Amino acid sequence: MSRVLTVGAAQMGPIQLADARPEVVERLVALLRSGAAAGCDLVVFPELALTTFFPRWWVDDLADADHFYETEMPGPDTRPLFDEARRLGVGFHLGYAELTSAGHRYNTAILVERDGSIVGRYRKVHLPGHSEHEPWRAFQHLERYYFEAGDGFAVHGAFGGVVGMAICNDRRWPETYRVLGLQGCELALIGYNTPIHYAPDPAQDRLQGFHNHLVLQSGAYQNGMWVVGVAKAGEEEGCALLGESAIVAPSGEIAALCTTDGDELAVAEVDLDLCAGYTGTLFDFHRYRRPEVYGRITAQRGPEVPAGVRAALDDNVESTAEPEEEGS
Ligand code: CDV
């Protein structure tokens, strides 16, 4: 059986506060149709693809933001996307804000097969930003206020292969790809909303595009998997979002790239059998990894410099200190 899929990275231009959900879904349906015309089996939409990136504003009462969340999937507004997917025989991946019946809030993505059935759901693990109002920022990044963290990375047997999901900031963490890779992931789908301005360290602003491709490409290569990174891009409510959505091969090479900041589809032929060229050789995890050597350290939350090394560093600080002047 052929394991070559045609995959579309369906980048979106900005979604403004005033844009109603049905209008946004119409844009998604239009991208899905473009995907069908290009022969796509799977179209990948960004993180929070149904709304503006609302964590950029503070609200005193979380309930005032309820309208940004989906309480069912599909719901009345999103059903046309599912219906069109089934009609066209094109699957999709969609990021959205989820509010559960128990009142939990997640930054979520789902994977939908070509028959319109949901085959997987993922809740973002690495939540960036802050949880308190920080008025000094040009705009907020309150994901830690609006969402609870998900609790794991899973893979799904879908589209004739092994498919995993991650969301935005997850893509910067090597653990994301490795945890997926250790479960045999061949195709990782990752939507993102990345402001070009990074308030805690603006020196990183000029590097946003470089860092984006750096992590997508290294994650793909070091784990022998295809990675599809898809942006919501452009000027959204005064905040410039990075585009440069890309489909990356297990070689680490970019196979398809978006070149605008608007709604745009970049398409690639994704041969899942290429993964084995890496996972069966250089990155044969079973043969070459040494989990018994790095297990204790990787379980730590942060750097814990061993006591002996800390003492040596402290000695070094003392020995390089300016000698005290005689007689002082
Ligand atoms: N939506 C995100 O997760 N954005 C982060 C920004 C805040 C750094 C990102 O990693 O792109």
Residues 286-306 have pLDDT tens digits of: 999 999 999 988 999 999 998
Quote the ligand 1 centre to 143 CA distance (angstroms). 9
Q: In this structure, is residue 19 part of a structural domain?
A: yes
Please answer whether residues 261 and 193 qualify as being in contact, where contact means their C-beta atoms are separated by less than 8 angstroms: no
Residue 328 belongs to some domain of the structure: no
Is 1 a residue whose pLDDT tops 90?
A: no
What is the whole-number distance in angstroms between the Cα of residue 169 and the centre of ligand 1?
5
Cα separation of 156 and 178, whole Å?
A: 16
Residues 6+ apart with CB under 8 A from 170: 124, 125, 126, 176, 190
| Protein residue with least CA distance to atom 1, ligand 1 | 193
CA–centroid distance for 77 within its chain:
24
Domain housing 293: 4-320
Q: Which of 66, 193, 206, 79 is nearest to 141 (CA)?
A: 193
pLDDT band at 30 (very low <50, low <70, confident <90, very high): very high
- Please state the φ and ψ torsions of residue 303, each to the nearest 5 degrees: -65, 130
The pair of structure tokens assigned to 238 is 């005064």
Indicate the pTM of the whole model: 0.95
Show Cβ contacts of residue 87 under 8 Å, excluding neighbours closer than 6 positions.
none
Distance CA(46)–CA(262), nearest Å, equals: 12
Contact 278, 51 (CB under 8 A): no
Phi, psi of 276 (to 5 degrees): -60, -25
Query: pLDDT class for 320, splitting at 50, 70, 90?
Result: low
Percentage of the chain exceeding pLDDT 70: 96
Residue 325 lies in a domain: no
Model confidence at 317, in pLDDT bands (50, 70, 90)?
confident
> Is 258 tagged catalytic?
no
- Does residue 36 surpass a pLDDT of 90? yes
Whether pLDDT at 326 is above 70: no
Out of 40, 168, 239, 258, which one is annotated catalytic? 168
**326 lies in some domain:** no
How many structural domains does the chain have?
1
Residues with CB under 6 A from ligand 1: 47, 128-129, 141, 168-169, 172, 192-194, 198
316 band by pLDDT with thresholds 50, 70 and 90: confident
Provide the mean pLDDT of the chain. 96
**In this predicted structure, which of 23-27, 145-149, 155-159, 307-311 has the lowest mean pLDDT?**
307-311
Q: How confident is the model at residue 319 (pLDDT cuts 50, 70, 90)?
A: low
Residue 21 lies in a domain: yes
At 256, which amino acid appears? Answer: A
Ligand 1, atom nearest to 172 Cα: 10
Q: Which of 96, 108, 141, 232 to mutate to test the pocket of ligand 1 (most atoms within 8 A of CB)?
A: 141
Q: From start to end of the chain, where are the E strands?
A: 4-11, 42-44, 91-99, 105-112, 118-123, 155-158, 161-167, 187-192, 226-231, 234-236, 239-241, 246-248, 254-257, 264-271
Is 32 among the domain residues?
yes
Tokens of 166: 């991650």
Rg (CA), the chain: 22
Q: Residue 67's domain is classified under what CATH number?
A: 3.60.110.10
Whether residue 46 contacts residue 266, with contact meaning beta carbons closer than 8 Å, is answered with no
Ligand 1 mutation target, pool 108, 127, 168, most atoms within 8 A of CB: 168
pLDDT at position 324 over 70:
no
Could you give the angle at the alpha carbon of 296 between the alpha carbons of 292 and 298, nearest 5°? Answer: 100
At 327, is the pLDDT very low, low, confident or very high (cuts 50, 70, 90)?
Answer: very low
pLDDT tens digits, residue range 182-222?
999 999 999 999 999 999 999 999 999 999 999 999 999 99
CB 5 within 8 A of CB 275: no
Q: How far is the CA of 168 from the centre of ligand 1 (A)?
A: 6
What distances in angstroms separate CA 143 from CA 50, 133, 272, one per listed residue?
Answer: 16, 11, 33
